[in-house]
């Protein structure tokens, strides 16, 4: 917890008022005050300052704080910051007050060896002075002057003595019109508030000195940084053809995946918890980059993180080609000297044969590519999250129950996508349809024709009531309409029959009358009537009365015949040909024709009923007999049926609308009867509505393809629908995804290992050869094109030549040559942004280390420097809203999570039978916990807890040497800056007084001991942590300080999480929170900080007391990490089932843990001296995206070295012929049993708690 009232550290360049803890007035620094201060200024300007200061009471606390703070900043962030601002420029600019030093003189500050509150200050030739760039930029803009270059040259070239400073001040006062208050090496006290007001009004150069912390400055204008969305745009970026990946350091599968992913993408993430091997992976990555001739920039906000990575490189054998640049001022001499020496020795001889390397590299890549093809084929996601091996297992599981051939002829594989999403749809369809179908047991149920909306939009009861109501209503209407149809058609047929009878009688009467008339005339007139034509009779009638009467008689017959014909033609219901006009005078013909008519009429009359029926069959409103008044009635019948059909359709009872295509009344009546039958059938089958409703509701919700699947299953009638479908479906997936690279032999692993080890001795020589060639070329090019840059960097007088230049100016023109000698640079964000040349894509890889604590706003300006960006970090972005690692992950950057843990196992007090899985997660914490509740008093004013501070000092006595006779590294962590200063002051006082334990403190400090505020812990690693939580009770009543609310702030939660993520060997938790408050904290999980604190303290107590149950109870709250789960193989389960007929099931044990792997299947020996047989599907233990084939081979060798028999099985063979493969494997096991010694009865053991010795059997 830092003082929120303190200004930001960068503000000292604009407002250096002395009212804060981290600023001290030089005038009142020493007990002799001004006299000493004036002498200090004189010595400083002459660069001979080396003086002991006896701090005044007012300055003692400030000096201690400045010393401890500056040392911790240097240790954690890199730059030296302690210095003196002198002299001061005071004025107002708008509403802003400017009290800014003109120059900053970086002093050395050390405590006296034997005097308390006595300090040694130094400013000599090795120390630096720099101008206040922020002030000078302001002055240039406001007064239109140019002074930065002049001031910088004087400061850096060590020519800023008393005279030059005086001259600068005079010139500045003259050019700006401000008052020059005093002469240089004079010293005035810091002005008070009122005096500052007066001085600022007119502008003043004031000769006051302020000691403080001066961080590196932004001394030049830079191009606008890109937006985060542009800087961290994720996309694939395949490596060049010449690039190869070689893991020089051992790599597990997750680490190998991280390296491979980084080569293939513009942005990638490597995420892992503490002890997962992130730094190891980074070192491996850098070695691989160097071997490929690639430049790397590693950026971290914390120097210890960079130091750790650099040390890992060194341990691997890379002692050159890299540099840690953390302080541009103080690292410049070392960097230039290193480059000069390297340049002089650039032509050193390196033993290297390019042909030999290329030959062995090609062999290595060839073997690697073979295994890569095998691994990709096996681990490719074939079905959802299931790889090839597991998908074969799924197939075997289903095929064992129902054969794949059942559905082969029923389903068209071309219609299926064979995806996991599709499978889930079909699986749900089958599992829901099977029990519903068993109740209906047909796909052609009479209720199938009901409207879909009834099942999809209406609840069951509502649907049933709807159907009952409407079906009954329409049945009544239909029955009524049917009755009307019957009645109307019967009446019409009767009328039609009557009409036909009347017509018959009318024709019969007329024809009979005509026949009788002819007979009468024949009898009356004799043969002349039959023989004479009417024309001749008319001529003879002029002369004979008798002939005239015969002519009239024939005319009468002709008229009646014509009348008969007219009556016939008005109702021509049958065919008959009447005589032509010329033949009608021929009485014999007419008589004969008339007899024929009567016979035809009689025949027609006999068929009247038939004709009536035929008319009825053709009856509709358009062909109603015109002589019958029935057209409207028939039309009404037609309309009534159409209306009934329309009403039924509008009611949406049936899925398909009723369509009336009948044209005649009988057809309509028949169709009406079919409607009635359909309604009655539906009404009758409503007895099945409840069961059918569930089935149809399910069926209609199925897709078309799912319905086809169900239909096929109904046809073939398997006992297990799901197994039948899965057998067919998985078989098709495997056929579709079959890859020629699927492994069928393990010979690739030893071949790869041989190629790997043959290449390894050549890697460092390869690195030396590549970079030596580049160095020589870069030197030649630089010397030829820019001799001045060469003189600044590589000349023997480079230190002198570059003395007056900032490092960024030196690097700007010769950076290509510099990075040829130092292709790996470890830098802080400030150096990356403000010191290195801002050349886009200059580095092949830009690596952000500890990216979880890196704000994306700070990372975006640096991002353009790298062609590829790799972000290392943990998932611990507590309190940070814009964490870099979180930002890029949310934007789709590929992430490799390191899941293995490389910490030592903790000493838990559980039973000896506890397996590693039973205490999973507990190894993420320290080996030893010591928890002490001192209930010390917290002084809110001073921010300290003296009881805890003194206990920390006492605990240092318990620190013992390691077996190597050195002390472990110790980190003392405090939750207030003041507590840190208090403990540091106690340690300093012990050393100064040479008290008991002082020598041990010095030795501990030499081995890395430090006292830190909790936010300074980030990035550091210690063997032992001592935590002073500091905040406690404030009075005799035991009231807890209100400052405890800090724990629940974002910063407080972040600090506690930071401690939780540290895994030292031993941790001391020293606190002063009374037990009632801890119980209260535990009862309020929503107060996250205090809850986590209380849980962690109680967890520590449980570890210290050996209470494993309590540890497991509290673990989920403080370690919400993903514990790596064992992979349960479906395929292995099927192998077990296949072997069960041949072996005692008790011998078959799955997933036995061994080191960092699980043995998929172990066949226990028949007797104690036998060797367990390890069955391994497809030869790969890893399940990451990539794997390390050397690691895979090492796991196989570890199994063999333990005395086990390693036997891989190949899933592709089991897919093709599972029974044959099962017999082969069983025969191998049985043969091994017979060769192992005396056959003993099989012994069944409990599979729930398998134990296999990890020690090799005695020979």
List all residues 6 or more positions away from 419 whose beta carbon is below 8 Å from its beta carbon.
384
pLDDT in tens, 327-382: 999 999 999 999 999 999 998 888 999 999 999 999 999 999 999 999 999 999 99
The yes-or-no verdict on residue 720 having pLDDT over 90 is yes
The yes-or-no verdict on residue 879 having pLDDT over 60 is no
Span 168-172, average pLDDT = 93
pLDDT in tens, 770-784: 999 999 999 999 999
**59 pLDDT tier (thresholds 50, 70, 90):** confident
Span 785-795, average pLDDT = 93
* Residue 540: per-residue pLDDT: 53
* Residue 318: per-residue pLDDT: 93
Spatial separation of the C-alpha atoms in residues 785 and 791, rounded to whole Å: 12
Beta bridge partners of 846: 297, 869
* Residue 636: per-residue pLDDT: 93
Do the domains 1130-1235 and 228-366+748-898 match in fold?
no
DSSP letter for 9, please: G
Q: Of 497, 502, 507, which is closest to residue 611 (Cα–Cα)?
A: 497
Secondary structure (3-state) at 97: strand
* Residue 1248: per-residue pLDDT: 35
* Residue 922: per-residue pLDDT: 52
Q: Sign of torsion, CA 1072 1073 1074 1075? A: negative
* Residue 1254: per-residue pLDDT: 30
Summarize the chain as % helix, strand, coil (round to 5). 55, 15, 35
Spatial separation of the C-alpha atoms in residues 551 and 587, rounded to whole Å: 12
Span 984-997, average pLDDT = 94
**Three-state secondary structure along 685-736?**
HHHHHHHHHHHHHHHHCCCHHHHHHHHHHHHHCCCCHHHHHHHHHHHHHHHH
The yes-or-no verdict on residue 208 having pLDDT over 50 is yes
CA 463 to each of CA 361, 653, 655, 694: distance values in angstroms, whole numbers, following the listed order: 75, 10, 14, 12
pLDDT in tens, 568-595: 988 888 899 999 888 888 888 889 999 9
Fold of 916-1118: Rossmann fold (3.40.50)
* Residue 904: per-residue pLDDT: 47
pLDDT in tens, 399-409: 999 999 999 99
Spatial separation of the C-alpha atoms in residues 102 and 151, rounded to whole Å: 9
Structure tokens at 612: 């009536």
Spatial separation of the C-alpha atoms in residues 1054 and 1002, rounded to whole Å: 32
- With residue 21 as reference, give the H or E element that holds it: none
pLDDT in tens, 1135-1186: 999 999 999 999 999 999 888 889 999 999 887 778 899 999 999 999 999 9
pLDDT in tens, 926-966: 779 999 999 999 999 999 999 999 999 999 999 999 888 89
Q: In terms of C-beta distances under 8 Å and separation of at least 24 residues, what long-range contacts does 223-231 make, across chains too?
A: 223/838, 225/860, 225/861, 226/860, 226/861, 226/863, 226/864, 227/860, 228/856, 228/857, 228/859, 228/860, 228/887, 229/891, 231/859, 231/860, 231/861, 231/863, 231/864
pLDDT in tens, 245-283: 999 999 999 999 999 999 999 999 999 888 889 999 999
pLDDT in tens, 539-548: 555 556 777 8
* Residue 489: per-residue pLDDT: 92
Give the sheet arrangement for strand 1205-1209, strand by strand: 1148-1154, 1157-1163, 1173-1177, 1205-1209
The DSSP code sequence of 450-499 is B-HHHHHTS-HHHHHHHHHHHHHHHHHHHHHHHHHHHHHHHHHHHHHHHH
CB 1172 within 8 A of CB 1165: yes
**307 pLDDT tier (thresholds 50, 70, 90):** very high
The yes-or-no verdict on residue 107 having pLDDT over 50 is yes
* Residue 933: per-residue pLDDT: 95
Spatial separation of the C-alpha atoms in residues 210 and 83, rounded to whole Å: 8
**914 pLDDT tier (thresholds 50, 70, 90):** very low
pLDDT in tens, 444-480: 999 999 999 999 999 999 999 999 999 999 999 999 9
Which residue do the tokens 């980074």 mark?
Answer: 282
Lowest mean pLDDT among 556-560, 776-780, 844-848: 556-560
Lowest mean pLDDT among 122-136, 239-253, 1119-1133, 1243-1257: 1243-1257
The radius of gyration of the chain's CA atoms, rounded to the nearest angstrom, is: 53
The HSE-up count of residue 930 (CA atoms within 13 Å, CB side) is 17
* Residue 238: per-residue pLDDT: 86
* Residue 1252: per-residue pLDDT: 28
Domain 1130-1235 has CATH 3.40.960: yes
Spatial separation of the C-alpha atoms in residues 857 and 882, rounded to whole Å: 8
Could you tell me whether strands 1010-1013 and 866-873 are parallel, antiparallel, or unpaired per DSSP bridges? unpaired
pLDDT in tens, 1018-1051: 889 999 999 999 999 999 889 999 999 999 998 8
- Average per-residue pLDDT for the chain: 89
> Domain 228-366+748-898 is classified in which CATH homologous superfamily?
P-loop containing nucleotide triphosphate hydrolases (3.40.50.300)
The yes-or-no verdict on residue 912 having pLDDT over 50 is no
DSSP letter for 443, please: S
Query: What are the extents of the domains in the chain?
Result: 9-213, 228-366+748-898, 916-1118, 1130-1235
Q: Helices in 738-822 by DSSP H: which ranges?
A: 748-785, 787-793, 798-801, 807-821
CB 1060 within 8 A of CB 1025: no
CB 598 within 8 A of CB 512: yes
E strands, 824-865, in order = 824-827, 843-848
**924 pLDDT tier (thresholds 50, 70, 90):** low
Spatial separation of the C-alpha atoms in residues 1050 and 1042, rounded to whole Å: 17
Q: Of 344, 214, 148, 324, which is closest to residue 835 (Cα–Cα)?
A: 324
């Amino acid at each position: 917890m830092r003082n929120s009232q303190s200004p930001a550290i960068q503000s000292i360049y604009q407002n250096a008022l002395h009212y804060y803890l981290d600023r001290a007035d030089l005038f009142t620094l020493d007990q002799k005050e001004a006299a000493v201060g004036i002498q200090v200024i004189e010595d400083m300007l002459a660069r001979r300052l080396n003086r002991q200061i006896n701090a005044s009471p007012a300055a003692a606390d400030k000096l201690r704080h400045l010393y401890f703070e500056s040392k911790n900043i240097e240790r954690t962030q890199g730059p030296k910051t302690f210095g003196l601002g002198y002299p001061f420029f005071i004025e107002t600019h708008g509403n802003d007050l400017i009290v800014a030093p003109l120059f900053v003189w970086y002093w050395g500050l050390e405590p006296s060896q034997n005097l308390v509150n006595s300090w040694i200050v130094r400013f000599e030739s090795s120390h630096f002075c720099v101008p206040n760039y922020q002030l000078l930029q302001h002055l240039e803009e406001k007064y239109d002057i140019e002074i930065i270059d002049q001031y910088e040259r004087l400061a850096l070239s060590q020519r800023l003595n008393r005279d030059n400073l005086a001259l600068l001040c005079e010139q500045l006062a003259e050019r700006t019109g401000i008052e020059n208050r005093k002469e240089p090496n004079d010293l005035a006290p810091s002005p008070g508030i009122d005096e500052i007001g007066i001085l600022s009004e007119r502008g003043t150069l004031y000769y006051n000195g302020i000691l403080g912390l001066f961080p590196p400055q932004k001394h030049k204008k830079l191009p606008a940084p890109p937006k985060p969305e542009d800087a961290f745009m994720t996309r694939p970026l395949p490596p060049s053809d010449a690039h190869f990946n070689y893991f020089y350091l051992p790599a597990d599968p997750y680490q190998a995946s991280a390296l491979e992913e980084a080569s293939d993408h513009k942005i990638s993430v490597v995420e892992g918890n503490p002890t997962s091997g992130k730094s190891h992976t980074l070192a491996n990555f850098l070695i691989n980059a160097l071997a490929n001739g690639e430049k790397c920039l590693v950026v971290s906000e914390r120097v210890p993180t960079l130091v750790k990575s650099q040390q890992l490189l060194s341990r691997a054998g890379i002692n050159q080609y890299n540099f840690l640049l953390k302080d541009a001022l103080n690292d410049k001499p070392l960097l230039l000297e290193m480059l000069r020496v390297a340049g002089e020795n650039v032509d050193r001889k390196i033993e290297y044969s390019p042909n030999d390397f290329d030959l062995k590299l090609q062999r290595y890549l060839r073997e690697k590519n073979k295994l890569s093809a095998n691994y990709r084929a096996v681990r490719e996601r074939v079905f959802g999250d299931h790889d090839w091996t597991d998908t074969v297992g799924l197939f075997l599981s289903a095929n064992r129950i129902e054969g794949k051939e059942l559905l082969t002829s029923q389903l068209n594989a071309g219609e299926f996508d064979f995806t996991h999403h599709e499978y889930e749809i079909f699986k749900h369809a089958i599992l829901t349809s099977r029990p519903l179908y068993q109740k209906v047991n047909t796909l052609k149920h009479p209720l199938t024709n009901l409207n879909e909306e009834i099942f999809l939009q209406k609840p069951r009861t509502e649907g049933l009531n709807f159907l009952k109501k409407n079906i009954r209503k329409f049945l009544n209407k239909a029955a009524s309409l049917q009755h009307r149809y019957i009645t109307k058609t019967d009446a019409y047929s009767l009328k039609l029959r009557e009409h036909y009878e009347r017509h018959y009688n009318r024709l019969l009467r007329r024809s009979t009358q005509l026949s009788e008339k002819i007979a009468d005339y024949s009898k009356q007139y004799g043969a002349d009537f039959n023989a004479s034509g009417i024309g001749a009779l008319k001529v003879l009638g002029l002369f004979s009365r008798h002939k005239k009467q015969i002519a009239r008689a024939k005319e009468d017959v002709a008229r009646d015949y014509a009348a008969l014909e007219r009556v016939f033609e008005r109702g021509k219901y049958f065919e008959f040909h009447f005589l032509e006009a010329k033949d009608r005078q021929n009485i014999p013909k007419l008589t004969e024709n008339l007899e024929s008519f009567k016979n035809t009429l009689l025949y027609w009359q006999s068929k009247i009923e038939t004709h009536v029926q035929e008319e009825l069959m053709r009856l509709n409103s358009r062909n109603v007999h015109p002589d019958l008044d029935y057209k409207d009635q028939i039309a009404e019948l037609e309309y009534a049926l159409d209306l009934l059909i329309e009403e039924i359709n509008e009611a949406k009872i049936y899925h398909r609308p009723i369509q009336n295509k009948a044209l005649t009344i009988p057809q309509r009546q028949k169709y009406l009867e079919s409607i009635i039958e359909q309604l009655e059938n539906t009404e009758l089958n409503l007895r099945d509505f409840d069961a059918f409703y569930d089935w149809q509701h399910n069926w209609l919700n199925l897709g078309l393809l799912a319905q086809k699947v169900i239909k096929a299953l109904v046809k073939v009638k398997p006992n297990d629908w799901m197994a039948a479908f899965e057998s067919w479906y998985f078989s098709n997936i495997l056929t579709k995804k079959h890859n020629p690279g699927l492994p069928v032999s393990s010979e690739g692993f030893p071949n790869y290992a041989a190629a790997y080890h043959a290449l390894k001795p050549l890697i460092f020589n390869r690195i030396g050869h590549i970079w030596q060639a580049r160095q020589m070329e870069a030197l030649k090019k630089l010397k030829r094109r820019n001799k001045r840059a060469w003189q600044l960097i590589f000349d023997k007088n480079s230190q002198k030549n570059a003395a007056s230049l900032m490092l960024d100016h030196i690097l700007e023109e010769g950076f290509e040559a510099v990075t040829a000698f130092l292709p790996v640079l470890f830098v802080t964000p400030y150096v990356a942004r403000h010191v290195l040349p801002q050349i886009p894509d200059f580095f092949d890889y830009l690596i952000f280390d500890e990216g979880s604590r890196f704000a994306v706003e700070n990372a975006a300006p640096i991002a353009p420097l790298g062609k590829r960006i790799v972000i290392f970090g943990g998932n611990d972005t507590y309190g940070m809203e814009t964490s870099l690692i979180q930002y890029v992950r949310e934007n789709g950057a590929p992430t490799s999570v390191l899941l293995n843990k490389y910490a030592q196992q903790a000493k838990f007090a559980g039973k000896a039978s506890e397996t590693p899985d039973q205490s999973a997660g507990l190894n993420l914490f320290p080996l030893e916990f010591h928890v002490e509740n001192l209930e010390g008093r917290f002084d809110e004013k001073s921010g300290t807890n003296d009881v805890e501070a003194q206990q920390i000092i006492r605990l240092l006595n318990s620190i013992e040497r390691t077996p190597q006779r050195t002390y472990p590294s110790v980190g003392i962590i405090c939750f207030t800056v003041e507590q840190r200063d208090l403990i540091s002051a106690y340690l300093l006082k012990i050393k100064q007084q040479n008290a008991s334990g002082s020598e041990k403190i010095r030795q501990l400090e030499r081995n890395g001991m430090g006292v830190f505020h909790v936010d300074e812990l980030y990035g550091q690693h210690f063997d032992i942590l001592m935590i002073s939580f500091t905040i406690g009770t404030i009075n005799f009543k035991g009231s807890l300080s209100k400052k405890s609310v800090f724990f629940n702030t974002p910063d407080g939660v972040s600090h506690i999480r930071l401690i939780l993520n540290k895994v030292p060997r031993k941790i001391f938790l020293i606190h002063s929170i009374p037990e009632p408050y801890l119980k209260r904290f535990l009862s309020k999980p929503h107060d996250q900080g205090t809850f986590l604190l209380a849980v962690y303290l109680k967890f520590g107590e449980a570890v210290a007391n050996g209470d494993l149950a309590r540890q497991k109870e509290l673990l989920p709250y403080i370690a919400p990490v993903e514990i790596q789960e064992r992979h349960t193989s479906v395929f292995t389960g099927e192998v077990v089932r296949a072997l069960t007929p041949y072996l005692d099931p008790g011998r078959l044990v799955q997933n036995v843990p061994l080191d960092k792997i699980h043995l998929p299947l172990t066949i226990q020996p028949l007797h104690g001296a036998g060797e367990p047989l390890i069955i391994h599907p497809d030869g790969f233990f890893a399940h990451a995206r990539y794997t390390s084939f050397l690691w895979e081979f090492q796991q196989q060798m570890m199994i063999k070295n333990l005395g086990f028999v390693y036997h891989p099985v190949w899933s592709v063979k089991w897919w093709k012929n599972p029974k044959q493969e099962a017999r082969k494997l069983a025969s191998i096991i049985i043969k091994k049993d017979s060769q192992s010694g005396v056959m003993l009865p099989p012994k069944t053991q409990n599979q729930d708690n398998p134990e296999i010795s990890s020690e090799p059997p005695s020979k």
